[in-house]
Amino acid sequence: MAEIDLFANQLLEEAKRFLEKAKDCVDPAGKAANLHAALTLSFCALDAHINAIGEEFSVHADLSAHEKGFLLERDVRLVDGEFKIQSGLKMARLEDRIEFLHARFSGTPLDRSAAWWGKLSSATQLRNQLTHAKTVPAISESAVRNATKAIIDTLDQLYKAIYKRKFPPTSQGLNSQLSF
């Protein structure tokens, strides 16, 4: 297993542990901090997993420079009459990268009406309330639990579509292997 895969799994485990700590916390400020950490780390884990998958598939010879650039989040420019991947960062929406990976490497478009996709959209809205706060967000334990589950389900669906197997951490659900 690649180092980035191990790190992405570690981030997910940390998110689940913070969710467990939030459940056990009686102090409202501590509970909120644990929920914020769980939500943020859940999305960090998703992003790391998507980056790892993108990196893995970027070496396919049949990909265009634009497709490789999209997977690697790199700028693509015309250099001497050829499209070349540049070192400059060109961010893409996480949802767009998930859709591209699913469609390009499974051979079928992602079903945007699937329940798991809707749950990921709800999780993203919750994350955006926290990371782009304009008011004090009301982030509940159940909402963070649902968001973390949505991220695990998203990775499971992507693994099934691309690799034809389950996302390994799916069987653990929201139970963390950490004890800090």
What ranges in 61-164 are assigned the alpha helix state H?
Answer: 65-72, 94-106, 115-131, 141-162
Q: Which pLDDT score, from 0 to 100, does residue 171 have? A: 94
The rounded distance, in Å, linking the Cα atoms of 81 and 85 is 13
Q: What is the pLDDT of residues 35-50, one digit of tens each?
A: 999 999 999 999 999 9
Q: What percent of the chain has pLDDT over 70?
A: 99
Q: Which two structure tokens, joined as six digits, stand for 75?
A: 């700028």
Confidence of residue 138 (pLDDT cuts 50, 70, 90): confident
**pTM of this structure:** 0.94
Contacts of 141 (CB under 8 A, 6+ apart): 19, 22, 23, 31, 35
